[in-house]
Amino acid sequence: MRSTLAIAAGKLARGASRLRGGGSALPGLVTERIDPEILAHTLSDLPGGIIVVSGTNGKTTTTKMLVALLRAHGQRVFTNPTGSNFTRGVISAMLAEIPLRARLDADWAVLELDEAHALHFARVVAPTHALLLNVARDQLDRFAEIDQTAQLLSRLAEQTTHTVVLNVDDSFISRIRTQVADGVSVRWFGVDPSSAQLLPALQEADVRVSDGAGAEGLPDSADTSLLAVHDERSFTITGSTADVGPLTLQQRGLAAMINATAATAMGRAVLGPEFDPQVAATALSTVTPPFGRGEVIDVDGHPLELVLVKNPAGFTVALGTYGSEPVDTMIAINDNYADGRDVSWLYDVSFESLREQGVALTSGVRAWDMALRLEYDDVPVEHVEPDLDLALERFLRAHRGRPVRIFSTYTAMMHLRRQLASRFDLARFGEDRT
Catalytic residue set: 342
Q: Which residues contact 204 (CB under 8 A, 6 or more apart)?
A: 136, 137, 146, 312, 313
Start-to-end CA distance of the chain, whole Å, equals 37
Count of helices and strands (H, E) across the chain:
15, 15
For residues 138 and 341, the answer to whether their CB atoms sit within 8 Å is no
Alpha-carbon distance 262 to 268, whole Å? Answer: 10
DSSP state of 128: S
Alpha-carbon distance 34 to 239, whole Å? Answer: 46
Sign of the torsion angle spanned by Cα atoms 209, 222, 71, 243: positive
Alpha-carbon distance 75 to 12, whole Å? Answer: 30
- Residue type (1 letter), 260: A
Please give the C-alpha separations between residue 257 and each of 207, 245, 325, 362, in angstroms, as whole numbers: 24, 12, 19, 30
Alpha-carbon distance 254 to 316, whole Å? Answer: 12
Alpha-carbon distance 93 to 80, whole Å? Answer: 5
Q: Which residues contact 109 (CB under 8 A, 6 or more apart)?
A: 43, 46, 49, 50, 51, 77, 78, 79
CA diameter of the chain? 63
Tell me which residue of 84, 91, 75 sits closest to 43, measured CA to CA.
Answer: 91
Alpha-carbon distance 268 to 92, whole Å? Answer: 29
For residues 319 and 354, the answer to whether their CB atoms sit within 8 Å is yes
Alpha-carbon distance 82 to 49, whole Å? Answer: 21
Report the DSSP pairing between strands 108-112 and 163-167.
unpaired
Phi/psi at 124 (5° precision): -90, -45
Radius of gyration of the chain (CA): 21
